[in-house]
Amino acid sequence: MNKYKETNPGKRKFEGRKKEAATSSAEYLQVGQRIVVTIKRIGINGEGVGYYRRKAVFIDGALPDEVVKAKVTRIEPNLIYAELTEIEKRSPMRKKPDCPVFDRCGGCQLQHMKYEGQLQAKEEIVREAFRRYAGAEDVRIKPILGMEQPWGYRNKAQVQLGFEKERLITGLYEPGTHKLVDISGCPIQHSKVNEAVDTIRDILTALRIPVYKERGNTGSVRNVVVRAGLQSGELQVTFVTATDKLPQREALVAAIRRALPEVTTIAQNINPKNTSLIFGERTSILWGKETIEESLGDLPFALSPRAFFQLNPEQTVKLYETVRVAAALTGRETVIDAYCGTGTIGLWLAPYAKEVRGIEAIPEAVDDARRNAERSGRANAAFYAGKAEELLPRWVKQGVSPDVVVVDPPRTGCDARLLRTLVQTKPKRIVYVSCNPSTLAKDCKVLQDGGFRIEWVQPVDMFPHTVHVEVVCSLIYKGFDSLKC
């Protein structure tokens, strides 16, 4: 029997809710506490992002539109990190990962999400970056360019060597650890690359060639790098060693040639340093050609073992075609390709421009760009070693007036001096290619303040099943008519 008389039940419920809210607000959130979170979006590292008491909560493995229970693992002034413990409401985009080591390897972040969901999430990452860092709520973001078959796209593998229960394995280190995860048969690597890595592992095992061990600084072979020319059908194999001497070198070369007739280059790179960088400074050819043949469209390339080349050629063509559309070339323009690397973008644009000038700080890359220009017959493309923020204003003083400037900077974005130079130079168009939406949006804010207008933004899914997204942004100097796309 209830001994309390409900003289005003509505008032009692209201007062109770007030008391509960006050108690909840007074509670101190602690590490180890369980919380319930509704996931709103995917973060830049692939984690689910929701909010708890107006603080952003980052939860690995959670997907948008899910309601999850999570255990708090770290608390910062405006952020909470938590570990997923239970899914109360499951996203329709959730799926079983295709890779058995997805949750350990760290190479992919989104295999537990259907591909259409991944594309939506990446569009939202780009949109959120422009909202947050450029204050652009109404920027025109085109539908992301995805892949029809988003598997087996990577044309290059760089694997560590180690042992698992006395068995030699090839793989990647589990994030935050020094534990090697066997990635044999990786579903995002091209099948030819996977087959070659497995075959080479078996050859190393049969010949008992000593693998480098960091503890004790013993052994020789640290990494195996395999690159496939998807157009040429050629394979390039590079052994990264901690020592100048590669044990059983002749027997190793002979065995690879017998087992893998597609191999046209076998190289050795020497890296004796205790570093996270894979390659050292010295490379020698043990057998075969110095370069592997590859092409993008009708553009041929000769790639040495250390030369940079896009890992997903199919999507690279879409990316470069997007750059060409953004440049809006008529054949009369002077194009500056800043951060040009080995010249791929500049050479792609050269047939449509009057002149292309590429700028790159690494002299070896400039040499590659010049050779690529000669091979492809792009006589109107020239490449220069230096810094864009120094060469561009010098050229302007000499009377060079760029119509289009293409920038494809590292993840940190454009150098501040280059942004100032672009604002001062006022080219008709800037085509900004970025692998980091956050720094892209920040740099676009500077360019907007300097008189440029964002025409449109095109995301391109270069790396399905990872959180990475490539973006092309078309900017036009105010006063020029925009290209209608």
Tokens 């044309």: give the residue.
155
Mean pLDDT by 10 residues, the chain (485 residues): 39 44 54 97 96 95 98 95 98 97 95 98 97 92 98 97 94 92 97 98 97 86 97 96 96 98 98 90 95 92 88 97 98 96 95 97 90 95 94 91 96 94 94 97 97 97 98 92 45
pTM of the model: 0.89
Decide which of 2.40.50.1070, 3.80.10.10, 2.60.40.150, 3.40.50.300 is the CATH code for 156-303: 2.40.50.1070
Q: What is the pLDDT of residue 102?
A: 96
Q: Are 350 and 369 in contact (CB under 8 A)?
A: no
Q: What is the pLDDT of residue 3?
A: 35
Angle between helices 416-425 and 388-397 (to 10 degrees): 20
Whether 435 is catalytic is yes
The reply to whether 156-303 shares the fold of 29-94 is: yes
Q: Which of 108, 340, 435, 444 is catalytic?
A: 435
Q: What is the pLDDT of residue 27?
A: 53
Dihedral of alpha carbons 100, 101, 103, 107, sign: negative
* For the chain, domain boundaries: 29-94, 119-148+312-477, 156-303
Distance, in Å, from the CA atom of 193 to the CA atom of 207, rounded to the nearest integer, reads 21
Burial (0-12, 13-18, 19+ Cβ within 10 Å), 265: buried
CATH of domain 119-148+312-477: 3.40.50.150
Closest CA to 26 of 18, 35, 37, 34: 18
Tell me if the domain spanning 29-94 has CATH number 2.40.10.10. Answer: no
